[in-house]
Structure 1
Amino acid sequence: MKEIKGRCLCGMVSFEVVNAFDKLQLCSCEQCRQITGSAFASNLFVTADGFLWLSGTEDIVNYQVPGREISKSFCRFCGSGVPWSNADGSKMIIPAGCLSGEPEVSERIRIFAAEQPSWALDFEQANSHAGFSG
């Protein structure tokens, strides 16, 4: 199978993963919005045996939300989200934005859609620009 690479913004943490993801999950729960600073978290799921760290594991910081099964792993230098494993270690959860290419996904789902903020609705209707707009 073909692999896809990913990394944090500064490049200190990098990985390679089989490009055959079980699902892409867009989550709009309050905790995911807070932990990402966005309208939703975009996470990919793959079996752990299809994942390989290339560099920087010593530079990863993990934050576990107290009393919840929600966590975030990030580079201690640039703060970018990086992959983490589920509780039993069988799956890796990969923030979609840290991949260097297009993921191949079997299933795309949106969860906690009822918690999506009104300011995040109808993005398709927003004005588009190829770069920064001023």
Structure 2
Amino acid sequence: MIVLTGECFCGAVKYKIEGDLNAMYYCHCSQCRKLTGSSFATNGSVDASLFTVTRGQTHLDKVPWAEHFRHHCKKCHSWVYGESESYPGLIFIPCGTLNEAPNRPVDHHVCVASKAQWVTINDDLPQYEGQQPTQSLAGD
């Protein structure tokens, strides 16, 4: 069985995933751009039952955003993981926090309607104008 680990920038918060990601995707929304300081974010989804914070639970701040919650490290302010009422039972991971490579490729692009004007998508991955369908995040 694959086990993935990850952590925030300063290492105060660590997590473990006992399995692989359900999906990996590029998110082009303005929130992800501002969170990462980049043109888009590479995120993944995983079943909540496979995800555990192994260190630093007390260092996490739960920050609401619409129907989403992002958990940030209080020390370095890294986004460590997220949850959404729209996708119950799933955890969202910024893939840059992973220590190991997932055993899967990136599946698709989301929020391409709001992508940065300077970005040109040059691959054949599916593109969603907004958020992707639930089944694509759950690995169905």
- What TM-score does the superposition give when structure 2 sets the normalisation length? 0.75
Contact 2:73 2:79 (C-alpha < 8 Å) held by counterparts:
yes
1:76 partner amino acid? K
Give the deviation of 1:14 after TM superposition: 0.3
How many residues align structurally? 122
Q: Distance in 2 between matches of 1:27 and 1:86?
A: 15
Q: Residue 8 in 1 paired to residue 5 in 2? A: no
Following TM superposition, where does structure 1 have runs of at least 4 consecutive aligned residues deviating by more than 6 angstroms?
none
Contact 2:69 2:83 (C-alpha < 8 Å) held by counterparts:
no
**Alignment-derived partner of residue 17 in structure 2:** 17
5+ long unaligned stretches in structure 1: 124-134
CA RMSD of aligned residues (A): 2.4
**Alignment-derived partner of residue 54 in structure 1:** 54
**Alignment-derived partner of residue 72 in structure 1:** 70
1:12 partner amino acid? A
Q: Distance in 2 between matches of 1:76 and 1:109?
A: 31
Q: Residue 97 in 1 paired to residue 96 in 2? A: yes
Percent identical: 27
Q: Distance in 1 between matches of 2:67 and 2:119?
A: 25
5+ long unaligned stretches in structure 2: 123-140
